Structures are given as structure tokens and as C-alpha cells.
Structure 1
């Protein structure tokens, strides 16, 4: 792989060492890394230069006076002339040096665009881009993969038509939206910008990730790790006005524009909201007059913004990135197989094509699977390839079942919004096996990189959500190591500085909240604390949730409306769980006339009554929600619970079927649909086939609850289909012996005893498991 030689004065070592550390030992020649101790001679330097693809010259006053650097420059010119060094990258890092300084050799000063750089992240990005170009030249398949873009002719023509117009205007923000990952939104944007000559083919944009519960404060902190302004770390965003934070955001974007950079923001629902509106603070940032008529931000969005609202803004373009056509799917699949040097028979290509749905990520996944395990074994995964959107995570975890390190790493990384390599190595150790596991997960397209002063990884949201929803557990040693890392972290003061590892900062903050430690008031920011609120809620620590939400709401006027709304929702949910009547005061916030508020208002009331076992009242409010939004998925899930609780299985059936079809790996949806079908008096052949399918899916589920649910489903199958009540009762009784908290087994056994009119057995069951009675 390509290497960079970092030519610098010893007085500039502080900056250069940061760059070298981020590039890594295998990607650069830097004296501390590659020259043997005591052997920093001209021979050693020339040896390093001879193994160099990119010569990086850090120009400063002391560098221009150095004889060593002068010799490095002379040798670099010789090697460049002989085509043995691919690229020269001179950059000024000293404000006192002008680009016309005659001490800079003519062959560097005249042809190269010498500029002053004071941003280590931008320097790092430029070097990586040059290394990437060199790698593409050396390894043709890398470039082929990078350049692979098939089809999408209609949307690309629309992009060109809107970007090349009579008025010669350019949008400030371009949005590429698709609910599903792996649709090729980033590739589409990069190709579109290249075709309209906004960027060249080598350009790699700066990626920034904004998670589901983040806001302008996260945006600013993450930008600050790219374009460093140390004073930002001194600011107290908990007390800063929202307008001042918007002004800061504008200033940051202007800095990127001045250096010719474009931000690629990967948004998971905090900028383009689930209700298809653009969040207020982001609209205000991109409306700055100084940003007009130039592409500053590309937004890779999960949700499609509402068209008329986007049109009103006038400075935003939106493109919906849909599936490839059948013809383009075939072309993409064949070309990708060719690039990765996989030659398979035409009948095998036809076999896989029937399961591919035109999602580039799915096509790449299928091709990489063939490359990893061969055509014959890959064919056994076709059902998972077909159900790529929902079953991909299950398929990957099954695929990694014998690779315990990669599997544990995947589960561990799902606990972090972003995670640095440094933190990965603290948990798993910096060893060859860990590097190989990271590479394997990259090959499965499970990560993307986030630029900053540290190298960060971000796990694909669909994988992360599946792992967390299934409550997959880490092994004992990994859990213990994470606890040790947390213990070490909280011994230090919680402070965000220019040298901070942002992922470790968030991890420390979360650990402190979990342990009930006080945190500095400046970090009591909703988007920071909301991540912990959700985890505490899922751990049933409702008292902690209430305390945190109430604390955040003390300064609600300092934060964006949407993040405060989210905080109030979690506060209300905790009140519902605890059956706290303070809910009725808090819920007034949502009792407005707009549809979104009415949905939240009725959903929360329905949830309160459902938790209070008042099923008629719960049903009434949930139906109010569906009158406004017939596709509200959370309400559908709750209605199924209500009807199952009331024993109205046929009412629950339609909702349960819909929930299952949307989320086929969710064990509770599998169970609910199964329960409705199994309780039908007259079952069709379709019903029986579906019951068997649900049993099979439950048996494959990795969810923590899956074993208990599967045993319950098997017992109910024995009772309702095979009419073997004794086998069912024995199986459920054994399940309760294995796990005395197994509510699923208790509920099923209670129902069977009731149907058999076994009143004595019901009485004994309730005596033996009194803690489970409240569920019935």
C-alpha cells in the first residue's frame, strides 16, 4: 500500500507527530516510527524516500534553514523525475512564510499551489487523498470499486439539470434521501458533483455523523474536531443561547468553504426529522448570506424532506435515491464480481439475481459473501440476502458465529454512537487479530469512517439497532474489560479539549450518569444526556430517567425545540411506566391542535392506561392516533398488546401481521403474530404454513428473550395444533423451572389451565410464581 514521507523540521514535530499517528505506522515514513534508533543518517532517509509514494513537505522558517530537509528535497526531486515518487505535497505551516519565498525551490514554488494550513484534520485528509490516488494507481481494483456507479440515469440527469442552469445558481445544501442503508446515496452525490465539476474524481469529502438523538451542540463539537477552534471547548453550551450556537455553526461552515471543502453529513433523523421537516437550527445555519450560491453541505438522510417546504427554502435540492432497475442490478452485480476477481457461472449469476432487489449494498454484500465462502455456501444464505434490509444483521451474526472475536467486537461497537480506533484497542488490545477483525467487518461493509482529530468508526445503524434490540450480550472477559476501561475513564476530570477522544468522552459521560455521579453543568446538554436517558429507560431505571429529564428542562429555552420535545416524551414515558399522575400535567405540553402533537398526546395517554391495565381506555387513545396516522408503527405494536391482553385475538391479527411483515426478525412481533394465528378456531393451510415459518424464525432469533419465547411457542403448537396438552404442560413447567421469571411460559401455562378448567393447577401456579401474577 502507498506510503507518505513526512519531511519536517524537528521544531515542527508536535504537529507532524499528530499527523503521523493518525496516518499510522504502515502508511508513512516518520523518524520516530520507521528510522532505527541511533541510525538517523542520510542513508536511512534515502532508504525511506526510496519506499515513498507521496513526499509531504512541511514548510516553516526552521524547515527552510535545515540542511537535512534541503537534502530530502533534492532526493525527492530525483525520485519524482524518475517516476519513483508519485506525488509531491508541499504545504506551508508557518504564517511568516509567503508562497513566493525564494528559499523554496523553483520546481516546488512555481507549479504547486502553495497554501498555508493550520488545520491538522484538513492536512491529514489531503495526505490520505493523495495516498488513495497512489493506491488506485497501484491496485487497479480499488479504483474500479471506487468508480463503480451503474444506472440511476433519470436521477443523474435530474441532478445535472438542476445544477447546470441558466441562472448559474448552486444550492447551499444537497440532500440524498433513502430510508434504507446501502442504497448508494454517498456514491450518487459524489458522482453527481464530479459530473457537474464541483469536485474532481479524487476528492474525498469530509464525513460527519449526526445520530438519532443529537442536535446543534453535537454538530458544533464534531465540527470543532475537524476545524479546530480551542475556545469552543471553553464555551458552556448549556447556557449559550440557541441563536449564538447557530452563528457559530455558520462560522464553521464558512471556514470549510474557504478551504474548498464540502461536508458530507450522515443524518439518522436529527436534521431531516421523521416528520419530513428540516430541523430549525440547520435551516438557519444554511440560510447565511455568505453561503449563498455554493455547495457547502451534502446531507445523506434517512428521511425524505417534504417537497414544498424544500422548494420554499430556495437553497436546498433533494433527490430520492431508489433501487436500481433489474437490468442495472445485473450490470452492477457482474461488474462488482469482476472487480473482486470472482468468475462464476452464468447459471449461478442468474440464481443470485432472482434474490437481489436493486439495493447496491445488498449486491455488494452478496458478492462479498460469494468471495468469502464460495458460491455453494453462499447459496445457503439466499433468504437472508433477499431480506437484506431486516435479516442482514441476523445473517452476518450467523456468518460470524465461529469468529468469536469479530462477533464480540460487533456487539461491543453497537454500544457506541461512534468509536475511535484508540478506544477499540483499549478494549480489545492492539494486536494483529484485532486488526484482522476490523478489516473483516469493513469487508462486510458494516462500518464507515468519520473524519476528525482521531480516526472514528461508525457501525451501520441497521446492524447496531438489531444488536441492541435483541439485547445480545458480551462475553464475560469483554464485559469486564469495558468495565475496567470505564473505571479508568471516570478517575479523570470530565473535560472536552482539542486532544480529547470524543467517543471516550461520551462513554465516560454515560458511565458517570449510570453510576449517579454529578457531571459538570456545561455538559448537561439534552443530546448528550438523552443517549443515557434511553439506556436507563431500557434498563427500567425510571426514577433516574425522571431526574435527568427534569434537570435538562430547567434550561429548555437554551436548546432546540425538537430536542426538548424528545426530552419531554421520555419523561412522559417514564411517568407512564411508574403510573405517576404527574403525567397529566406534563402531557398538556402536547395537547395542541397540530397532528404531530395530537399523535404524541394520545399515544402517551394510551401507553399510560395500557401500563395501568385499563385496556378499554388504552384502546380508545391508540385508535385516536391511527385516525390521524394510520401507519404509526409504535401504536400498532401497542394495540396488538392491548387486544392480546383482552383476549381479542382476531382484532389483533391484522396489526400483528403488519408488524411482523415490517420487522420479521423482531421476536416479539414473531410471537404476537403466532399467538393470533394459533388461537384462531379455524385455521387455513396458509395459517398452518405461516405458523411453521414463525416457529422457524423464532428458533433462529438471536434475541436475548428468544429461547423463552421459542419454548412457549413450541408448547402452544403442541396444545393448539397437535392437541397434546400433557406435552405442552410438561414443556412449560420445565421452562419455568429453568427460568422462574419466564413470563411467556407463565402466561401460556395459565391460558392452557384456564381452557382445560384446571382451577386447582391455576391456584398452585399463582402461589408458586406470585411475582408474575401482575402480568395477568
Structure 2
């Protein structure tokens, strides 16, 4: 871990002593730790500076009058002039100072002194985060990857021409869209550098928002820029109308602008919807004249806004990133190889280049594979590189699992949080060095991002968290007990708690308390927090709890964003359908578009009106041909109707798009094995399906593959005794698995085995004859 030198005046001793004690001797140079009694001589100070990676300057009226501190400021300027900008960290701790007018403060230093902080806990937190960043940057792999940027020159020129045009209307905000791994954040940072909005080493404020978030989450996360969220501000937020929330967001954004900061929202469907619509609150923010031409708020999105929106909306400029050209892919590949110290033979380099698809993340993966295992292994495992987008998560998690139990348990812990602070992790594991070392390895491997005003929160990448969630990876009992103790403490203090210095802890406690059925003060029922809880209840099968919570929230819909209201209504309809509640027919009237037809199809499947279900699902796909949930559901219904030939084409398409999805594997397998004649190609494909089911993330995959073996014995090998034996064993070992019961019943029926069929029916009353994942 890097160390910090704490430069201060004698009058600041008490504050800095608290900070030094919080950091510990191993992480800082503080005169009482390092120097002998008496005033340290300049030589000792310089020696202390040279033995540390971060120079922290505490700026106040007293320090500016200190001869020692002035000499240290001069030394800091020397460090800066030598190109070590990230090694300087000035902190303003005196609210009385007028930084702009104070002539004792050198002009180069003023730009760092954005706002005063006097709380030793918060200062410690910021110093620790800066030390972590420095430790990562000293890692050669991380440093090499961070410096990479190739291509996109036409887009950079387009932005420059917009910013420096004679016309009145210049963009207020940039939206960079494209698939994960295409280089959206890298492009956005380099674009702002290109037009001189940010400096070389600047790091923006990263905020993550997804489909379950809204303007409330934006406000709370930007409030974190002010370091604490107060109890009063939570109550105020709950009482505001939607329009008042927009005004609150504007006032917070003005503070960000005044501090010369920039926000990058890492968006997973909150601002730019999967439907290509753009959140109204975002538009109201950026269209305000206070943010004209400033690019204070920018979006990194999975989804692209509609062409119609971009044509009409002049305050936004969108760059949609496609794959790199072959030439730029080669540049990136060779540049990264060189930075990591490799020089391949041309024929070896060309062999790897020939399988790259232009996605920067895949190129990074190929180079790192060569770096870790050598070119011979890389050539042997070319298929892994080709399948990178589909299988990268599987291989990454497997590599962590092989490191040991702690690493995998720690990954599962991280993935249980929306986002989490280092402090929570330290309090759960109580071994800071172990946590820091493991996190450094994870970060370099691409497990998570650092987000927040000071990059103080860890957010596991969505595909990894989703994989672990679907595989039902269990949280280690001692970790679970620690989290429950946090929630219990929060519940007892919730009525009189005044401030929250850790937003991730607040979200954890609120969601946990509601899931456990505790009643909390009204201020904690923030709609987007409730929506996250609703989703968790839904996937845990607690549909009545979902309905109850949503009814509570929708009682006060005047205060909600329309997009959030729609999300609640959508989850309400899903839960009513699962419960076969005829109230569904009333609530569905609040839904429009393709979802209206999809939800009808979903509901009719549960009440066994399969013809109606198929009709509505096909209507949903007419409205939205790329509607993945509707495609999956339509295959589901056709399998229930035993229309295997009708389901085959769509089942194949679904599988080709998600080769590790257990439902898609099983559905395609069923369609293939029910064909009257299997070609050689069909048999090879069935073999691939078995292999991919072995690698599937779904927690049911092990049980499903056992059933598939039994069905394969009957439909392909034509071995009835083997098939019956395998499926009977499946039923005995896991009687709750309706796949095995249904498969065995089907074979008993086809073979006219009436006695065992009747026994099976009486013993295992399968409640749903469905392939529902």
C-alpha cells in the first residue's frame, strides 16, 4: 500500500494527529510518528517526502503563515513540475479562507482547493481512496491499460467542431452509447480532454444508475459529493413533488459545476431506456441555461437514444461506438503488447489478430491471456478468445474460484451489494490488508468499477453479479451474520439517526430492514430503494409482499417520476400474473406498448390459456421484434403445447444469442431431440448444448443436465431402460425438480407404461407443466 506525507502547521496538530491515527503508521508519515522530539529539520522533511507516494497539504490560515509549510508547498510544486500530478493532494480545512483572493496561495494550488473539509473521518476516507488509486496505478497491467486509446478520430473531430462552432447552440451534455467493453468511458474521457474541458490526470465523478433508479438516486448520490446525507435531507426528499426534485437536482449540479467537476453517469437503463426513450428529468437538467455548453453532466449508456430524439434535441450530442476497424484493432493489440513488454513473431501476432472482432475488451483479454499464459497457450485456446463476450464471465469467476475459498466468498459478498464502500468491507472481514490486496487483484482483472464522488464505492460489473445471482451462490454465514447485525443496529437507531456518511450502508440497511419485515420511519421509503426491494422479493417468490409494497408506494404517485411509476406497475402485473389474481385485468390497463401484450401472454400462460398466450406474445413481437423476454416466453408456451417444430427456429435464435442461458440450452435441446431425423450437424449441436449446460451459471443447471441425459437416452440413443433408470434417479434425488417428473411422465406415456405412470402422477403432483426458468 502507498503512504502519505502529512504536511501541516503546528496549530493543526490535533486534527492531523486524528487523521494520522486513523491511517496508521504504515500508511502515512506524520512528524510524531517519524521524527525525534523537537522541530524537524528540512532535511528530515524532504527525506519523509521522498519515502512516500502522496503529498497531502493541509491548507489553512495557520499553515499559510508557517515557514515550514511554505517550503513544503515549494517542494510540492517541484513534484508537480516533474510530472507527478496525482501525487499532490491539497486539502482545504479552513472555511474562513477566501481561496480566490488570498495571495499567499499560489495560483497553481488554487484549482485544487474546491471546498473546505474539517471532519477528520472524511479527510481520512479521501486520503485512503487516493492511496488506493496510486497503488493500482503502480501496477504495470493497470497502468498500461489506462493509457490505451486508439481510433475514433472522426468522432473527436465532430465534437470539436460542435464545441467551437460559430452557431449559438453548442451541446450541454454528451451521451456515449454502445455495448459493454466497446470503450465508452475511455472515449468520453478522451473526448473531454480533446476539447480542453479536463486535464490529463482528471478523474470525473462516476455515478451508476439502472432501470430501478430514478431522480431520487441521482440526488442522493450527488449529495454524497457534499460528503454526508442528512436525515433532514431524506425527509425533505420524500416530501418533494417531481418538479421540486428536479429543482433540487439542479441546485446540486450547480455546486458540482462551481467546483469545476464533471459527472459521468454509468447508465444501465435509467436515463436512456431500453425503449430508446430518454428520462424527462435528465432533459430538464441539461436544458437549464446554467449548464449551457459546459458538459457538466454526461452519460455512458448501454442503449442509444432514438434517432427522432437526437434530431430534435440540440442540447445533446450522441456518439454511438461500434467496433474498431481492423487497422485500429491492430494498433490497440500491438500497443498493449508493447506496454506489457511483449514482442511477438509476426505470424503469431497475425494468427491472434485474425480472430479479434474489434471490441477493445476482447483485444485486452487476448493480450492479457498472452501475458499470463504465453503465445502457445493463446493459440491453443483461440476459441476462448473468440467466445470472449459470451464466456468471459464464466472464465473470470472460475479463475477466482481456483484462487481459494476466501477469494470466491469475497466475490460473492461484493456481488450482494448494489455498491459498497471499503469501510463496510473492512468491518465485515476485519483484515484491511487482505481486503486491499484482494480488491487490487479483482480490479485489475476487471471485476468491478470504482464509483462515487471520490471513487470510494465498489460496484461489481453487472454480468458478474447477475451470473452469481442466477447461480444462487451462497453468502458465507459469517458474512451474512455481520450484515444482519448492521441491519439490526440500523433498525434500533433509525428514528434518531442524523447523518449518513456512507450511502452504500444506508441502502443496504433500508433494503435489508424492509426485506426482513421491519417498519421504518417514512423518510426511508425512497421509491427507488423500494423498487430494488420489490425485485428481490419477486425473485425470492414472495409475490404477495411485492403487491403490498407497490400498493403502498403508488398511494403517493404524485411525487414519482412517470418512468418509476411504470416500473412499479410492471412488477405489480408480473406478481399478479404469478398469483393468478384476476386483479391483473385491471392493473394491465396502466401498461402500454409491447409490454401490454407481453404481460397478457405471461398471465394467460399461468392460467393455462395457451392459445391466448401465444396470440399476445406474437403481438408483442410484432410491436418489438427484438423483445427478448417475449421470445423466451413464446418458446415456453410452444413447448407446453408440444409444438416442438414450431418452437425450433426461435429456440435456436435465443440460444445463439445467449449460449450459457440454461433455459435457452434446454429449450433448444428439447426441440432438437424431438425431431424425427437428426442430422450429423444436429448431433454435434446437441453435444455443444451439453458442454454449455456444464458451464451455465444457472443454479438449476446440474439438475437439468441430468434430465437431458435421460431424455437423450430415449430420443437419440433409443435406449428405453437406460432412459427410465436415469430419470427415475433424477426424481429420487430431487423430487422438487419438475423437469425430471415431467420428462419421466412423458416417456411413461409414450411407452404405454401405465402402472408406473399412475404411481408417478399420484406421488408427484407437478403444479406447473412448464419449462419456466
Same fold (TM over 0.5): yes
What does the per-residue CA deviation read over 1:13-53, in whole Å, with 9 as the maximum and x for residues that have no partner?
A: 79768987998976653568x548x9686267565334245
Using the TM superposition, give the Cα deviation of residue 491 of structure 1 relative to its aligned residue in structure 2, in angstroms. Answer: 4.4
1-structure distance, mates of 2:262, 2:57: 25
SS at match of 1:574: helix
* Equivalent pair of 2:447/2:460 in contact (CA under 8 Å): yes
Aligned to 2:681: 686
Using the TM superposition, give the Cα deviation of residue 441 of structure 1 relative to its aligned residue in structure 2, in angstroms: 1.1
- 2:351 corresponds to: 351
Partners of 2:251 and 2:175 lie apart in 1 by 21
Name the structure 1 match of 2:208: 209
Give the Cα separation in 1 of the matches to 2:181 and 2:427.
30
| Superposed counterparts of 1:86-165, under 5 Å | 92-99=92-99, 104=104, 109=106, 112-113=109-110, 117-118=114-115, 120=117, 144-165=144-165
1:724 alignment counterpart: 719
1:330 is displaced (CA, Å) by 1.8
* Contact 2:144–2:340 under 8 Å retained in 1: no
Instruction: Please name the residue that 2:761 is paired with.
Output: 766
Secondary structure of 2:555's match? helix
CA distance in 1, matches of 2:396, 2:304: 28
**Deviations 1:146-192, CA, capped at 9 Å, x for gaps:** 332112233233233333323375321101001x2111111111112
Distance 1:39 1:361, change over 3 A: farther
Shift of 1:385: 2.6
Further displaced range: 305-314 or 557-566 = 305-314
Q: What is the aligned partner in structure 2 of residue 593 from structure 1?
A: none
Residue by residue over 1:665-688, the C-alpha shift from the partner in whole angstroms, topping out at 9 and shown as x without a partner, is 111110001001111112222211
Residues 519/370 of structure 1: CA separation in 2 closer, same or farther (3 Å cut): farther
Shift of 1:258: 1.6
- Partners of 1:768 and 1:134 lie apart in 2 by 63
Query: Is the Cα contact below 8 Å between 2:126 and 2:454 reproduced in 1?
Result: no
Cα distance, 1:348 vs structure 2 = 3.4
Q: Higher mean Cα deviation, 228-237 or 385-394?
A: 228-237
Spell out the pairing of 1:153-552 with structure 2 (5 A cutoff). 153-167=153-167, 170-178=170-178, 180-228=179-227, 233-379=233-379, 381-403=381-403, 404-452=405-453, 455-493=456-494, 498-552=499-553
Q: Is 751-760 or 308-317 further displaced after alignment?
A: 308-317
2:702 is paired with a residue whose SS is helix
Out of 40, 43, 47, the position equivalent to 1:42 is 40
- Whether contact under 8 Å (1:183, 1:360) holds in the other structure is yes
In the TM superposition, residue 516 of structure 1 has moved relative to its aligned partner by: 0.7
Separation of aligned partners in 2, 1:454 and 1:35 = 30
After superposition, the C-alpha distances for 1:276-321 in whole angstroms (9 at most, x for unaligned) are 1110111111111111122111210110011331332211100001
Greater Cα shift, 403-412 or 575-584: 403-412
- Check if 1:609 corresponds to 2:600: no
- Secondary structure of the residue aligned to 1:225 is helix
After TM superposition, list the pairs within 5 Å mapping 1:666-681 onto structure 2. Answer: 666-681=661-676
What number of residue pairs does the alignment pair up? 761
Cα pair distance change 1:749/1:458, threshold 3 Å? same
Report Cα offsets for 1:38-94 as digits up to 9, x if no partner. 9686267565334245544323234346xxx53243356468669899566656543
* Counterpart Cα distance in 1 of 2:479 and 2:128: 32
Distance 2:142 2:571 in 1: 46
Structure 1 residue 500 displacement after superposition: 2.7
Q: TM-score, normalised by structure 2?
A: 0.90
Q: SS of 1:237's equivalent?
A: helix
Q: Is the 8 A contact 2:652 2:668 kept in 1?
A: yes
CA gap of 1:663–1:142, structure 2 versus 1, over 3 A, is closer
**Does the 8 Å contact 1:246/1:285 carry over to 2?**
yes
Question: Quick check: 674-683 or 226-235, which moved more?
Answer: 226-235
Whether the aligned pair in 2 keeps the contact of 1:671 and 1:709 (CA below 8 Å) is yes
Whether the 8 Å contact between 1:228 and 1:498 is mirrored in structure 2 is no
Structure 1 residues 173 and 85: alpha-carbon distance in aligned structure 2, compared to 1, 3 A threshold: closer
Residue 756 of structure 1 deviates from its aligned partner by 0.6
2:738/2:766 contact within 8 Å kept: no
Q: Deviations over 1:93-139 (max 9, x none)?
A: 434334588893xxx54664377532559999998999899999988
In structure 2, distance between residues paired with 1:501 and 1:543: 32
- The partner residue of 2:648 within 642, 647, 653 is 653
